[in-house]
Each structure stands twice: as structure tokens, then as C-alpha cells.
Amino acid sequence: MDVMLTDKVAIVTGASKGIGLAIVKALAREGARVVAGARGIDSLAGIEGVTAVAVDLVAPEGPARLVSRALDAHGRVDVLVNNVGAVRMRLQGFLGTSDDEFAWAMQTNFFAALRATRAVLPAMLSRGSGSIVNIASVNAFFEPDAGVLDYGAAKAALLNLTKSLAQEFGPRGITVNAISPGPVSTDLWLGKDGVAHTVARATGVDPETARKNVLASIGGLATGRLTTPEEVATLAVLLASPLTANVTGSNYVVDGGLIKTT
């Protein structure tokens, strides 16, 4: 199926690994011209149709710099995927999580997306079209424990922003949607500072056992496996496509059946 992204200009933040890298590759395969931003860009080298930009997207000026590079290179932006984000496990709970730690979570998972959106909207509005896809998380509304309370709060803010922007800019041709992945096979879950390793160190078990224990404690996955980055990327591409131009203000859960409620 042709998703009508050939020669569209797309910006992807947090593009060097995991979900972001998968989205970059998926958009490029569909013929989009992708401007990919991340602090480290070695993994983006040699991908046809991709311009890699080394940038700190958590810095206040970082998102605007990335958008400027895209506009300078291509003269327009059709798609923005706000993917940049990170989580640190908070094993000491709410009382052990400082203001600075909450501020870090908000800057990384909310303000980076807010600033990129603010920077890109004037160019989209001038053309009367555009698609913004925010990568949120099931933790925006699913919090089985305090381990990611600051991350969840930041992602909840991103979901709220998604709804608000969809209402404000829908009449002017801009769609804004969110994707909320559950556990995904990325560094967030499997890396040395990810969920599995952090819990393993705290509980004295190996990371694989810790991963299984954590998943069991939050209700388990109906599919029995983590979501792949490519599965999230497929949905991002569809939401970026003109084929879904009347889909806006929506949040799509990709969680292997983690959330049991309707």
C-alpha cells in the first residue's frame, strides 16, 4: 500500500536508537526525506534519504535548531515525530524522588516535544497541512507502582497537550496524535540502565528474571513478548500519512495486551 509519503519532509527526534531509529528507517523506506535529530548520530550514517543532525534536544534551543535545519534544507516540514524521551527507575518511591528528578523527566519527555512542536507549527500552518505524532507511553495512564512516577506524569502531560493541539489546529489542516507503547525491546527495558537491569541490581536476580518478574507484577502481556520498535514505527508511519488525515486527537496503545480494561 502506498502511504503517500514520497518526498514528504519529516523530522524525527530521539532518532539514533530504539523506536526513533525504527521510525526513521520506516519513513525513509516510504520515500520521505527525513531529518533525524539526536545527540549521537553514528547509527544514522548511510541511511538513504536521511539527514542526521547532532543536537541536544533537551536543551531549550535544541528543538528549534533541528527544525531550522530541516527548513533550510527542504523549505518545509510535513511531519514531526516527537520521540525523544527517557526514563529512570525510581525505586525509592514518591518521597524519594526529588523536584530535580521530576524536572529532568518533564524536560526530557514533555518540554522537548513542546518546543519542537512550537518551532514547527508556523511552517505547517503556512502550508495548511501537517502531521504531528507524539510518542507517549502507557505509563501516562497506567501506573502499577511508583517506579516511573515522574516519567508517567510527563507522558500524561504530553497526552494532554496532544488533545489540546488537535482541537486548536485541526481546523487549519494539522493533525496531532499520540502512540502509547507498553514494554518495548529497547534500552529503556533491556539496556544496562533500563528497567530489567535496574530491578535486577535492586533485587539480587539476573536481568532476565527481573524482566519476567516486573512484567508478571503489572499483569503480564497477552502476546507473551515485548513489542518491537518496528511495530511502533509502522503505526507512526500510518499516522504521518495523508491517508489518515481525518484522524486527530487520538492515542493508540501498542502494548501486547498489557492494558486489560476497555
Query: Phi, psi at residue 108, to the nearest 5°?
Result: -75, -45
252 noted as active-site residue: no
Distance between CA atoms of 131 and 144, rounded to whole angstroms? 32
Residues whose CB is less than 8 angstroms from the CB of residue 192 and which lie 6 or more positions away in sequence, other chains included: none
**What whole-number distance in Å separates Cα of residue 15 and Cα of residue 27?**
12
Contact 203, 141 (CB under 8 A): no
Helices and strands (H, E) in the chain, number of each type = 9, 7
Could you say which of 110, 111, 142, 151 is catalytic?
151
Cell of 121: 507549527
Which residue has 531549550 as its cell numbers? 60
d(CA 233, CA 223): 18
- Stated as kind and residue range, the H or E segment containing 125 is helix 112-127
Active site residues: 151
